[in-house]
A and B are shown apart, each in its own frame.
Chain A
Amino acid sequence: MATTAEGIATGIRKGVLEFCVLALLEERERYGLELATELIDRELIASEGSLYPLLARMRDNDLVTTRSQPAGSGRPRRYYALTRAGREQLAAFADVWKRLGPQVDALVEGTS
């Protein structure tokens, strides 16, 4: 039933990915590749490229903002950071998740 598991994971990821990006940016500013690598390691995205349309939309919604900073080689690198609206969004999500997460855990506990 690998396809079912994959389908479920895809659905849940879709719902939480945006907030995971906000949480990663709350820790510190990050550039695109950094975010992509981190999200792949945590199995939150299936391919690195799918991050960028999301970032573009989040920037359009004014949840994140970008800043150019010189990288090691002197090339300017685009860093993503949270805006105030992004911080508020993340706090709202954290509230929901704290209530919802344990409920889901309690329900599925002992099922497997």
Chain B
Amino acid sequence: MITQNDYLDAVRRELRDLDPRHREAVLADLREHFADAAEQGRSTEEISRALGTPREISERAYEEFGRSGSTAERLRTVLTVAAIVVAVITAVFVAFLLPSYTVADGTGDESTETLAAYLGFTAALVTLVPALVAAVPLVVPLRARGVTSLTVAIVLTFMAVVGGFTIGGFAVPIAMLAWAAVVVPRGARRGGFGVVAHIVGAVLVVSPFAVLARGILTGTVGLSAWGIMVVVVITALAVLIGFGVRAAGWLLLVIGAAMMIATLIFPSMLAVALWALGGVYVTIGGSHALAPARPHGSAAE
């Protein structure tokens, strides 16, 4: 025997590619329809039969609105492409620009060479593997993209951890973006991100300062006026993100991208840290700027 909840769940599943706002509107009307019809003495069975199949309702809905499941999938595409772009830049940087091999020439002098110069061009191509992995979700059939994204995020995280022992945290931004390509579409399907997600994002943005704070307290790190300003600006952006202000996401994205570009232009001792931190800001800022939000204070149904 079909219950009202069975029926509504089936409709919700059929409507998964509809904009969440419209999906909830249709479901709310159907819930009322059930209640009103039941008051007239119709059985659940009769009501569901008269309503038609969930598939009929969803077909009508897609005729009216089009399939915007696409909203979620478009977000996944954007974030996946971002991961690929960052992965390619990382590969070029690590292989051709970063002096990472110390070579002793036998006369007592030492020089540092890049990976490509030391191991050869073909070996340097190996650095492109993360970019290839990151691209996989774009070539699988639509229905397999969700699972593929998750698998890719796990694989890239593994690679970032393993790579961390050799070339440092250069793969961190790629893994971060891959995770965003899993989480953001999921949130979009569920009707947008609420206050909890925004606070988590805000905490992630300021979390790197925890390391800094310890250094300052123990006196090993001193902040210049410039450094203090950066901390203040980032913290302010984190607070705004916590409140769901979209523009703060864009600004953080720009700051993160600037940090990554600066790393490429002026490789320094801090390159890896700056690159990884920039990647964190790009990912959280970009996700926050693009992801649909649920208005704060309204509970999800």
| Among A33, A53, A59, A73, contact of B57 (Cβ-Cβ < 8 Å) | A53
Q: Once the chains bind, are B50 and A47 in contact (CB under 8 Å)?
A: yes
Bound form: Cα–Cα A59–B26 in Å: 11
A27 in the interface (beta carbon within 8 A): no
User: In the complex, A54→B57 CA distance in Å?
Assistant: 10
With known contacts A53-B60, A72-B39, A33–B32 Cβ distance under 8 A: yes
B52 and A52 within 8 A (CB): no
Secondary structure at the A interface, as helix, strand, loop or mixed, is: helix
Query: Which residues in A have their C-beta under 8 angstroms from that of B25?
Result: 52, 55-56, 59-60
* Residue B64, interface by CB 8 Å: yes
CA distance A36 to B47 in the complex (A): 12
Contacts A33-B36, A72-B39; is A52 near B50 (CB within 8 Å)? no
Chain A positions within 8 Å of B37 at CB level: 33
Chain B min CB distance to A15 (Å): 12
Interface contact B30-A57, CB-CB below 8 Å:
no
A71: chain B residues within 8 A (beta carbon): 36
* A60: chain B residues within 8 A (beta carbon): 22, 25, 65
Interface residues of A in 39-57 (CB under 8 A from B): 40, 46-50, 52-57
- Knowing A53-B57, A56-B29 touch, does A48 contact B22 (C-beta < 8 A)? no
Q: Say whether A56 contacts B32, CB under 8 Å.
A: no
Q: Is B26 a contact of A52 with CB atoms below 8 Å?
A: yes
Q: Which residue of B lies closest to A56 (CB)?
A: B25
Residues B56 and A55 in contact, CB atoms below 8 Å apart: no
B interface secondary structure, majority = helix
B64 A56 Cβ-Cβ under 8 A = yes
Residue of A47, A55, A56, A59 near B51 (CB, 8 A) is: A47
B221 within 8 Å of A (CB atoms)? no
Q: Which of A32, A33, A49, A55 contacts B52 (CB 8 A)?
A: A49
Within A15-68, the residues touching B (CB, 8 Å) are: 31-33, 36, 40, 46-50, 52-57, 59-60
Complex alpha-carbon distance, A53 and B66, angstroms: 11
Tell yes or no: B28 within 8 A of A by CB.
yes
A55 and B29 contacting across the interface, CB-CB below 8 Å: yes
Q: Which of B46-92 contact A (CB under 8 A)?
A: 50-53, 56-57, 60-61, 63-65
Is A87's beta carbon under 8 Å from chain B?
Answer: no
Q: Does A75 sit within 8 A of B, measured CB to CB?
A: yes
Would you call A75 and B35 a contact (CB within 8 A)? yes
CB distance from A34 to the nearest CB of B (A): 8
Q: Using Cβ atoms and an 8 Å threshold, which residues of chain B touch A36?
A: 33
Which residues of chain A come closer than 8 Å to B61, judged between CB atoms? 53, 56
Contact between A49 and B51, CB atoms less than 8 A apart: yes
List 23 A-B pairs, Cβ < 8 Å: A32-B32, A32-B36, A33-B32, A33-B37, A47-B52, A47-B53, A47-B56, A48-B50, A48-B51, A49-B30, A49-B51, A52-B26, A52-B33, A53-B57, A56-B26, A56-B29, A56-B65, A57-B65, A59-B25, A60-B22, A60-B25, A77-B32, A78-B29
Chain B residues packing against A (C-beta within 8 Å):
22, 25-26, 28-30, 32-33, 35-37, 39-40, 50-53, 56-57, 60-61, 63-65
